[in-house]
Amino acid sequence: MEKFELHILGCGSALPTTRHFPTSQILNVRDKLFMIDCGEGAQLQFRKSRLKFSRLNHIFISHLHGDHCFGLLGLISTLNLLGRTAELHIHSPQGLEELLKPMLDFFNHQMTYPVVFHAFETKEPTLVYEDRSLTVTTIPLRHRMPTCGFLFAEKPRPNHIIREMIDFYQIPVYELNRIKNGADYVTPDGKTIPNSRLTRPSDPPRSYAYCSDTLPLASVVEQVRGVDLLFHEATFVEEDAARAKETYHTTASQAASIAREAGVKRLLVGHFSARYDNEELLLEQARAVFPETLLAKETLCVPI
């Protein structure tokens, strides 16, 4: 099966701790790398992950809080030192380009590659990226400023042709695309060979949803229904639910409720408050609601 795996570069929240970096993740889809959020130190963690900088072409920023984007300056500068020439696309809510541009201009006299900023609206789900095999759609969230999560969805793939059957029936090459897409084959003497004899189904398309930072939202449940992996922020334990609400964050059990209602396959929680010495209580509270819950952790890699 082709690669579709998530690397956690950082899963802490705004205050630094001795255990966590601020938020950043890399989704590896068939060796194309997509970065989600870019907190301070993201490039250092990226390097540690042994993934290749050159495979990164798109960065998605959920919102303009420092713990989700202060790593951009360093990462962009490093790619410049490395002599990158390919465009780097940064997708974010409005405002990032204006903020970063003066610093990028000063700190990188001669850019070896273009940084292309794309601002997305944050009210409605919006397609922000598409290629042959993948779409990325925003997931509107509710935080203290315009914020979106991201839904990464593989496109359904055509069935696989069974080479031996093609040979057996001496099917001409120009028929193959139709057959891949589900058509039956009619032999020269008028016999119909059903598609199911000629192909086997491809792997079902996989999906990953990222939701941080946000209050728990019913609209998220709808949008992430059935995904293979849901990352949802779980900044606080249930006992700090009032604080979660006040700061527009989610508790571990609220995140788990969303996972359960949306019928996702697995839940990964992160964006942990600095107030906890470890995250065992968060995990316990989430698993009480949704057993298939994992804790995010720096250097964790989750195959999807």
Of 71 and 140, nearer to its own copies (C-beta) is 71
Q: Of these, 5, 32, 57, 78, which contacts its own copies (CB under 8 A)?
A: 78
Helix, coil or strand: residue 251: strand
Contact between 227 and 151 (Cβ < 8 Å) = yes
Is 189 annotated as ligand-binding? Answer: no
Q: Which residue stretch of 37-45, 119-127, 168-176, 211-219 sits at the interface with its own copies (rule: CB under 8 A)?
A: 37-45
Residue 67 falls in the annotated catalytic set: yes
Q: With binding defined as CB under 8 A, does residue 44 bind its own copies?
A: yes
118 annotated as belonging to a binding site for a ligand: no
User: Could you say whether residue 81 binds its own copies (CB under 8 A)?
Assistant: yes
How near is the Cβ of 99 to its own copies at its closest, in Å? 6
If you write DSSP's letter for every residue of 81-118 in order, what string do you get?
A: HTT--S-EEEEEETTHHHHHHHHHHHH-SS-SS-EEEE
- E strand spans, 155-265: 160-161, 185-186, 192-193, 199-200, 207-211, 229-233
In terms of CB distance, is 15 or 127 closer to its own copies? Answer: 15
Q: Are strands 24-29 and 32-38 parallel, antiparallel or unpaired?
A: antiparallel
Q: Pick from 15, 116, 183, 186: which binds its own copies (CB under 8 A)?
A: 15
* Residue 66 lies near its own copies (rule: CB under 8 A): yes
Q: Could you say whether residue 103 binds its own copies (CB under 8 A)? A: yes
| C-alpha span between 175 and 254 (Å, rounded) | 51
| Residue 45: how many other CB atoms lie within 10 Å | 21
Set 67, 105, 184, 277: catalytic member? 67
Q: Which is nearer to its own copies, 95 or 125 (CB)?
A: 95
Q: Which of 5, 32, 57, 95 binds its own copies (CB under 8 A)?
A: 95
Q: Which is nearer to its own copies, 20 or 232 (CB)?
A: 20
Choose which of 85, 106, 173, 189 interacts with its own copies (CB under 8 A).
106
**Closest CA relative to residue 299, chosen from 3, 2, 19:** 19
Instruction: Identify which range of 8-16, 153-161, 176-184, 204-212 contacts its own copies by CB under 8 A.
Output: 8-16
The answer to whether 31 is annotated as binding is no
Least Cα distance to 259 among 214, 211, 298, 190 occurs for 211
143, two tokens: 């935080």
Q: Could you tell me which residues come within 8 angstroms of residue 55 by beta carbon, excluding any fewer than 6 positions away?
A: 28, 31, 32, 33
Q: Does 17 bind its own copies (CB under 8 A)?
A: yes
Is the Cβ of residue 92 or residue 223 nearer to its own copies in the bound state? 92
Closest CA to 152 of 169, 162, 139: 139
Could you tell me the two tokens for 262?
Answer: 């949306």
Q: DSSP assignment, residue 195?
A: H
User: Minimal distance in Å, beta carbon 102 to its own copies?
Assistant: 7
Instruction: Supply the residues annotated as catalytic.
Output: 67
Residues at the contact surface with its own copies, assessed by CB under 8 A: 14-18, 21-22, 40-41, 43-44, 46-48, 64-67, 70-71, 73-74, 77-78, 81-82, 95, 99, 102-103, 106-107
Residues at the binding site for Zn(2+) are 63, 65, 67-68, 143, 213, 271
